[in-house]
Amino acid sequence: MRVYIPSTLQLLSAACNAGEIGPAPLPAYAVTPALREWYAEGDDEELEYAAMAQAGRASVGLLSADPTTARRRVVIAAEVSAVPPADGSVELGDARLELHVVIPWRAVAAVHVDATDAIPVIRKAADLWEAAQNGDDDAVFALDSCEGEDLLWYATQEIPDLLAAEGPRGRNGSNGSN
């Protein structure tokens, strides 16, 4: 099953160098029964996109927690053999899961990353993350605006070049200072 793991460029670099994504438990997003029920008319591709979008939103929370990393959402797409069932607290439309395994790098199918021109939108959303979690309308709007930015697709063999272009801390001029 395909899962989408929210990340940052720094976390992606660490996972790439370690040869695994971890430690467990890992927040992940996938086509869950709750998501499938919410998007009853959606085909598999639309459901996968919805799960990836939720992982992208969670990536903004990771960016908010680390002001030193580049303001670009990162979502790691991986294939896992088993996905745990929802714990019962999942809301309709929720793709969220918790994986209790470390994912080997060979299971990574692709990585999705914001283009550099999305940085101002993502930065604003990351800066307002806490306010959005508390229901502030302007902050929620800033967070929702991220969904208008497409995540670019990178094959696994392209990830080292992506990380090298971003520099040792995933900056390449795209951190909070830009």
pLDDT at 99: 86
* Distance from the Cα of residue 141 to its chain's centroid: 19
The predicted model gives 71-95 an average pLDDT of 76
pLDDT at 106: 94
Residue 170 in contact with residue 176, Cβ under 8 Å? no
Tokens of 6: 């929210």
How far is it, in rounded angstroms, from Cα 75 to Cα 151? 8
Tell me which of 137 and 83 has the higher pLDDT.
137
pTM given for the model: 0.86
115 — pLDDT class (breaks 50, 70, 90):
very high
Tokens of 43: 């085909």
How far is it, in rounded angstroms, from Cα 36 to Cα 158? 32
pLDDT at 82: 63
The reply to whether omega before 84 is within 30° of 0 (cis) is no
User: What sections of the chain are H helices per DSSP?
Assistant: 9-18, 33-38, 44-65, 119-127, 129-133, 137-145, 159-166
Residue type, 46: E
Tokens of 91: 């809301």
Tell me which of 83 and 37 has the higher pLDDT.
37
Q: How many CB atoms lie within 10 A of CB 89?
A: 7
Q: Given a cut of 80, is residue 169 above it in pLDDT?
A: no
Tokens of 37: 């029920």
pLDDT at 42: 72
Tens-place pLDDT, residues 156-168: 999 999 998 886 5
